[in-house]
Structure 1
Amino acid sequence: MIDTTSILTTLLPAIVVGYLLGAIPVAALISRKAGVDIFSVGTGLAGASNVKRYVGKKRGGTVGLVDLTKGVLAVAASILIGVEGAWVALPALAAILGHWKSVFTGFRGGDGLAILGGIMVAMFPVYGFIGVLVGVLVAFGGQKLPYTSLFSVVIGYATLAALVVNANGDLPLALGLGGLSALVLARAILGHRRRRDNDGVDWDDMDDAEGAADQRRYS
């Protein structure tokens, strides 16, 4: 259990720090410097994939790496502040919320897949790294398949969870991470469906639909 004093002196400050770290609009800043409003192109998300497609591969890679780092820092900061055990999941959730709804960009943001990867690594350094690595390999191996990015998160977390269970690790923390992963996946799926419905195409044709949407927007 956590008492009222601990909530006021550790948990709440960690949540605030987590949100502010997550809210740093890396994708928007990098894209703006290149002359692109990332919220007006493609998926409209401030994430590595959208930046990669509309700004450039190097900048997209930079965004992905920095977003992952934000997740690591949010968890590390909460631990330094004094948050322990599964309670770390709350500042991590705040970081994801900050990434989704950044106060610095009018409460717009990305889908949170990269920052979730950073959270995984920070919570379980070895198992998280392995899980993220497996997820990345799945994503690269199935680039032309539908649902690849979402499937990679499922496989990555499943790998981490299996390793934690096998090693009799911190199961409550792993379950908390599972809850965060489920939230990120659910929001990403709902976002994909909304864009699909708006453009009237199947998921497999989503890239073409995004391109068509851009043409309509700028015509």
Structure 2
Amino acid sequence: MLIDVSYYLTLAVASLVCYIFGALPFAHRLSRRKGIDIFKTGTGLAGASNVLKTVGKGSAVLVLVFDLAKGALAVIVSGMMGIEGIVILIPASFAVLGHWNSVFTRFKGGDGMAIGGGVAIALFGYFAILALVVTALVSIFAQRLPFSSLTGIVFGYIFLALSTSILAKNELGTLAMSFGIVIGLIFIHAVLGHSKRNRKGEHFEESETTRI
């Protein structure tokens, strides 16, 4: 069996490009413009939730939009490079990895929830938008519970997987089930990060993974 070297090379390049997309430190840069080091205040995470708490609503909205765009661009650019199907989740995962460990901020970053949402929107369209609405609603109503945001993500993903499996083509449903791996990685990374910050005493305020 011949190995398509050019395809794997393209996949590697796409993954590198997506890592760079994910690593773009919008939260860090926008906070710096306000004289705030996002990694030394609030939860210490470079995400829209921490920016909202420590910088302001306007900056938080911009960060949210930019982070969603990073995830969406990762999928769009990979598709333009010929990466399709389940394989597209590989460069998409590298975008999340870039957000977690940005080369531009000494390998610090955020939880990757928004960038994961951007990936979902680019892959699943209105199914993902509805799933994000479910995520937001569950997070709001579960605010008294620990990890309310992560609880919202779990319910949002379940909605996405079920809705695509029932209402969409088989391929999209299969892709949504596989996307669960990416969601699972984001979930585990967020929980481990929360526990690590608690052990090190780096928890300035309530974690962005526990409340929105």
Aligned length: 203
* Whole-angstrom distance in 2 between the partners of 1:84 and 1:153: 25
Which structure carries more helix by proportion?
1
Query: What are the residue-to-residue correspondences of 1:69-218 with 2, within 5 Å?
Result: 69-167=69-167, 168-170=169-171, 171-199=173-201, 210-211=204-205
- The equivalent of 1:58 in structure 2 is 58
- Percent of residue pairs bearing the same amino acid type: 43
Which blocks of at least 5 consecutive residues in structure 1 are unaligned?
A: 201-208, 213-219
State which drifts further: 43-52 or 178-187: 43-52
Contact 1:46–1:110 (CA under 8 A) maintained in structure 2:
yes
The worse-fitting range, judged by mean Cα deviation, of 56-65 and 20-29 is: 56-65
Structure 1 residue 50: Cα displacement? 0.9
Distance 1:37 1:159 in 2: 36
Q: Contact (CA 8 Å) 2:48, 2:60: kept in 1 or not?
A: yes
Of the two structures, which has the highest relative contact order with CA contacts closer than 8 Å and spacing of 6 or more?
2
* CA displacement, residues 12-32 of structure 1 (integer Å, 9 cap, x when unaligned): 121111111101000000000
Offset of residue 46 of structure 1: 0.6
3-state SS in 2 of match to 1:210 = coil
CA-based RMSD of the aligned residues comes to 2.0
Aligned-pair distance for 1:78?
A: 0.4
Mean CA deviation greater in 57-66 or 45-54: 57-66
- SS of the equivalent of 2:11 reads helix
Residues 44-102 of structure 1, C-alpha deviations (whole Å, 9 max, x = no match): 11111111111112211221121011101110110011101101000100100000011
Residue aligned with 2:35, SS: coil
Asked if 1 retains the 8 angstrom alpha-carbon contact of 2:38 and 2:46, the reply is yes
TM-score, scaled to structure 1: 0.86
Name the structure 2 match of 1:47: 47
* Paired residue type of 2:192: L
> Could you tell me which residue of structure 2 aligns to residue 206 of structure 1?
none
Q: Deviations 1:125-183 (Å, cap 9, x if unpaired)?
A: 12111111211222233334321110111111111000111134323322331000000
Q: Which residue of 2 aligns with 1:215?
A: none
Q: TM-score, normalised by structure 2?
A: 0.89
What are structure 2's unaligned runs of at least 5 residues? 207-212
Deviation (angstroms), 1:40: 0.6
